[in-house]
A and B are shown apart, each in its own frame.
Chain A
């Protein structure tokens, strides 16, 4: 009886492990061609595909919704890609940057949204979408919290790496959407600017500073010029945003990184509510204006471009 139970246990474990491997491999294969959607990991995959773009913008929704690569390409004569992702923060940006570098991407210019929310929202909280790349780079593992042995143990399951992304992957494999340059503008919809004022509660997540620093050092190590930009908010910044931004600006000064500040405190172009979708996101007209202004500043930073756009077209995976 005992022997039979033991045999049953061994067979069950074998079936579970094999099944896990098969499901993980199947989903991995299915996701290879999916280059859209933040929940499916499509945007991270697209950023890796577009790794040879000369300008790559990283960040949260305030990059994805604000930076129009087509404007940068026209104004700077360089290929550009927007690798921003809704709901993500500096941990995601740092991890995707490491994946771009690992696959040979060497952008000439790297843009990063200086986002004070990174200082009070745990930027690692929603990075599970990067789990399919577990083990690919230390930055990805760090974003996934894999230094915790229990997390690492769960990530050993190949199927679990697609936790919460399997359904979006399956859905997108049926309804294919053309890959974009990452820019996803928002409609004009702002009604009020007073709803989201929060208190200046401290302390900040200190780990975010380390991630910003690692992002800059890694970019510089790979020969990129780093420029931070600050997106505007509709109406006045609240006390916490001001305090967070001051800390990030101090960090930028220490790292000797140029900061282009579009916040309404210094930039009159975004003082009107008509430029906004909501309090922290610009509408399409505002985003295009922001990218134009950013490109104008960048012409002073970047040397004249060579003819032709390198890495403008998405490349298919070699394997």
Chain B
């Protein structure tokens, strides 16, 4: 059930009404049934997987909390980690590593004949396993009391607005809200509806429209010229941002209409002034997760420069692999890691260079935003390309294949309209965030804006309910 379909919104209205009519103490029950229905519509058999993951983590965390010895606690944490990573390994990575081993052996002149599983990737598995892992680790670290009620914990794992593509929640933030039963007042309702509408706009007017152009070019990059490949790469940068942040906006908006607060996942990432800043603004819930559960345990920045570099690169490589079982994602993650290391290593020198030019903070920031955006776009080539060979082909084409620019006026005029609105709204948000004085937007203006967004969704959105990019992760 996709957020950009009529079916989802009918489902949401029914859930919202039932949630509203149910006493607060039992609202989590309504949401649990709704969440399992939401996931079950996609694939009933994989509900079992979700339930098994939930039960194992709940059980392991309960035992962990009850254990006196540190060894026992560690063993129960091992059970949780093994079950989560085992599931990911079997359903997401088995065929990838298997094929890589086959290729490696073939390269050495040997034959490796391991069975290929060919399993359908359960939607959202990377998101909910990370969410449950964080719960287990937090209980192990003593930061969190285990949830005594298995079914309520099941809702924490499966809460439908963020189940399949985040934001990746933390139990310390979401569980207390689920226990107390959400309640939204009129202002929260209006704000949630507005946020969901904004997300829907980003998805159907910008992301899905740009996808038509990007797909046409990236499906067969060898036949396109440098200007076309360049435009498609820029288009993809905005497509993936509008697609993923659009999903997060709808998730946050829907949860808010039900009376629950989800974590922010994006903060105008293409205004980042460095790669480090980019990761503070892009997929915030994942980068925080990787920081807390991978980077810091690896030593973080506390053990000297070499260890920091290693921790950064390993964290980003794992982050890349988290996105998908393919070498293109590993290289994407590796590139991000190297760029973070490069950014860190040259920061002092760059600051000294800028200092020579006097007080030119604004010029420096604009320059840094442009450079960071282009570095991110470079890495997006690996993220989007169908294969490593295609990614290299795109970069080669950009560097060496002059020619005419392929333009689809219908697609690009619709997408440009959407992008104009996006830039205007996010620009205004950035100004408002940097302003000292609170800016009051009159209710009438907000209503007119919301109605204009509705119209754009209806008139300029791509109909048909295409899947969100991050569902494949």
List residues of A whose CB falls within 8 A of some B CB.
1, 4-5, 8, 15-16, 19-20, 23, 39, 128, 150, 153-154, 157, 159-160, 162-164, 166-168
Contact = CB atoms under 8 A, between A and B. Distances in A.
B410 A39 contact: yes
Contacts of B458: 20, 157, 159-160, 163
A19 B7 contact: no
B6 to A, nearest CB: 5
B319 interface: no
Interface stretch (B162-170, B231-239, B361-369, B459-467): B459-467
A128 B464 CA distance: 10
Contact of B459 (A1, A8, A166): A166
Nearest to A37: B410
A39 B7 CA distance: 27
Nearest to A169: B459
A244 B410 CA distance: 31
A166 B414 CA distance: 10
B459 A19 contact: no
Nearest to B220: A195
A159 B463 CA distance: 13
B102 to A, nearest CB: 25
A164 B6 contact: no
A153 B189 CA distance: 25
Interface string B368-382: 000000000000000
Which 3 pairs across A and B sit closest by C-beta, in order of nearness? A166-B459, A150-B6, A159-B458
A150 B10 CA distance: 10
Contact of B462 (A19, A20, A162, A164): A164
16 contacts: A4-B186, A5-B189, A8-B186, A15-B451, A19-B451, A20-B458, A154-B6, A154-B463, A157-B458, A159-B459, A163-B461, A163-B463, A164-B459, A164-B460, A166-B459, A168-B410
B455 A159 contact: yes
A275 to B, nearest CB: 23
B454 interface: yes
Interface in B418-473: 451, 454-455, 458-463
Nearest to B189: A5
B201 to A, nearest CB: 14
A23 B410 contact: no
B414 A167 contact: yes
Contacts of A167: 410, 413-414, 417, 459-460
Contacts, number: 49
B451 A150 contact: no
Contacts of B451: 15-16, 19
A150 B413 CA distance: 28
Nearest to A154: B6
Given A39-B410, A150-B7, A16 B461 contact: no
Contact of A23 (B413, B455, B460): B455
Contacts of A163: 458-461, 463
A299 to B, nearest CB: 40
Contacts of B455: 19, 23, 159
A4 to B, nearest CB: 8
Nearest to B7: A150
Interface centre among B186, B455, B458 (most CB of A within 10 A): B458
Contacts of B462: 164
Nearest to A125: B464
A5 B463 contact: no
A20 B462 CA distance: 18
Contacts of B5: 150
A8 B189 CA distance: 12
A276 B20 CA distance: 65
Interface in B2-20: 5-7
Nearest to A166: B459
A162 B454 contact: no
Given A154-B6, A159-B459, A164 B454 contact: no
A122 B460 CA distance: 22
A314 B277 CA distance: 62
A128 B463 contact: yes
B209 to A, nearest CB: 9
Nearest to B411: A164
Contact of B6 (A39, A153, A159, A168): A153
Contacts of A128: 463
A262 B7 CA distance: 46
Contacts of B414: 164, 167
Given A23-B455, A163-B460, 5 more contacts: A19-B451, A153-B6, A160-B463, A163-B461, A164-B459
Nearest to B450: A12
Given A150-B6, A153-B6, A164 B186 contact: no
A162 B410 contact: no
A6 B458 CA distance: 25
Contacts of A160: 458-459, 463
A258 to B, nearest CB: 37
A166 B461 CA distance: 11
A145 B5 CA distance: 15
A23 B72 CA distance: 67
A20 B454 CA distance: 10
Contacts of A23: 455, 459
Contacts of B7: 150
Contacts of B463: 128, 154, 160, 163-164
B442 to A, nearest CB: 16
A166 B460 contact: yes
A19 B189 CA distance: 22
